A = this chain, B = another copy of it.
């Protein structure tokens, strides 16, 4: 198995996307530190362009294309943050973005893609319909397919958030990232364990979509089937590229209940006065759920994004 991406790939990605994406701030909260008796450092990707870390991977992939490849545009399937991120990155490069989305995707997600100039192809909400539609789009346009997470360029891009975190906050005992398809977690794991070998990397996952937990236990990919979790960014399952990286570099997957996610999300909003989406609250939920002695530890948390429908909040 080839060992890609490497730390150098992540550094290259960082160089490539610098000036396009934000170097997001790292925030701390005395109130939350007191709650968990540790020192938490939150890497705020909710402040990132297009509202989530996804722009890092999408932007790196888009700018990795040759002039000739790029001219034909990029395509993807996604009902979430990757779709909007890819549309925005494509607009920056001045190329078309074709996005296959299920008809039942939330209006707000479609609007975000359209707002960044992406061309949307609606399909029935089944795996078959999605793949059929994507194949047709790619065939008719010649666009480069950019997978939401199972792509080395994307993984390297996502790893740049943790790279910045480790540069800014040395001597972390632990870094926790949420895990859905594993793009963020695998990029984070490579970055962190390479630049700071004494720092452990942990993935945090909803109990209701615990495919990473089960896949690591079983030693092979065990996909979640139609998982129902409020953490809408984490409903996807590990891919063939992300699984082995996580297997190799991630110490543990902690699963958390829906209630713990909502509570952690509310703590972040109330104490830190920032808007994060449910998926972003999963690592703090893992810290607060207990069961592990994290007392006094320096813990980096990737707050993955802030795209949430303010008209439908989970706490009333």
Q: Which residues of B contact A313 (CB under 8 A)?
A: 310, 313
B273 touches A46 (CB 8 A): yes
User: Known contacts being A273-B47, A274-B274, is A311 close to B306, with CB within 8 Å?
Assistant: no
Bits for A43-71, please: 1 = Cβ < 8 Å to B, else 0.
00011000100000000000000000000
Q: Is A259 an interface residue (CB 8 A)?
A: no
Shortest distance between the CB of A51 and any CB in chain B (Å): 7
Chain A 16-58 interface mask (CB, 8 Å, partner B; 1/0): 0000000001000000000000000000001100010000000
Across the two chains, which residue of chain B brings its CB closest to A27? B47
A51 touches B273 (CB 8 A): yes
**Range of interface residues on A (Cβ < 8 Å):** 10 to 19
Find out whether the CB atom of A310 lies under 8 angstroms from the CB atom of B269: yes
Asked if A315 is at the interface (CB within 8 A of a chain B CB), the reply is: yes
A270 within 8 Å of B by Cβ?
A: yes
Known: A25-B25, A275-B273, A275-B275. A266 touches B310 (CB 8 A): yes
Nearest B residue to A270 by beta-carbon distance? B310
What are 23 A-B contacts defined by CB distance under 8 Å?
A25-B25, A46-B273, A47-B272, A47-B273, A51-B273, A266-B310, A269-B275, A269-B310, A270-B275, A270-B310, A273-B274, A273-B275, A273-B276, A273-B306, A274-B274, A274-B275, A275-B275, A310-B313, A310-B315, A311-B315, A311-B316, A312-B316, A313-B313
Nearest CB in chain B to that of A303: its residue? B273
Per-position binary interface string of chain A over residues 255-282, scored 1 when its CB falls under 8 Å from any chain B CB and 0 otherwise: 0000000000010011011111000000
Residues 263-307 of A at the B interface (beta carbon under 8 Å): 266, 269-270, 272-276, 306
Main secondary structure on chain A at its contact with chain B? loop
Please give, as numbers and ranges, the residues of chain B lying within 8 Å of A46 by CB-CB distance: 273
Note all chain B residues with C-beta closer than 8 A to A270: 275, 310
Q: Which residues of B contact A276 (CB under 8 A)?
A: 273
Q: How far is the CB of A33 from chain B (nearest CB, A)?
A: 14
Report A21 CB to chain B, min CB distance, Å: 13
Least CB distance, A231 to chain B, in whole angstroms: 17
Chain B hits for A316, CB < 8 A: 311-312
CA distance A312 to B276 in the complex (A): 18
Set of chain B residues within 8 Å of A47, measured between Cβ atoms:
272-273
Chain B residues with Cβ below 8 Å from A306 are 273
Question: Who on chain B is nearest to A30 by CB?
Answer: B49
Nearest Cβ in chain B — how far from A152, in angstroms?
29
How far does the alpha carbon of A26 sit from the alpha carbon of B272 in the complex, in Å? 16
Residues of B within 8 A of A310 (CB): 266, 269-270, 313, 315
Instruction: Write the chain B residue with the least CB distance to A29.
Output: B47
A158→B232 CA distance, assembly (Å): 41
Question: Max chain B CB contacts within 10 Å: which of A266, A272, A275?
Answer: A275
**A311 CB contacts on chain B under 8 angstroms:** 315-316
Q: Complex formed: what's the CA distance from A26 to B227 in Å? A: 40
Starting from the known contacts A310-B313, A312-B316, 17 additional A-B residue pairs (CB-CB under 8 Å) come to: A25-B25, A46-B273, A47-B272, A47-B273, A266-B310, A269-B275, A269-B310, A270-B310, A273-B274, A273-B275, A273-B276, A274-B274, A274-B275, A275-B275, A310-B315, A311-B316, A313-B313
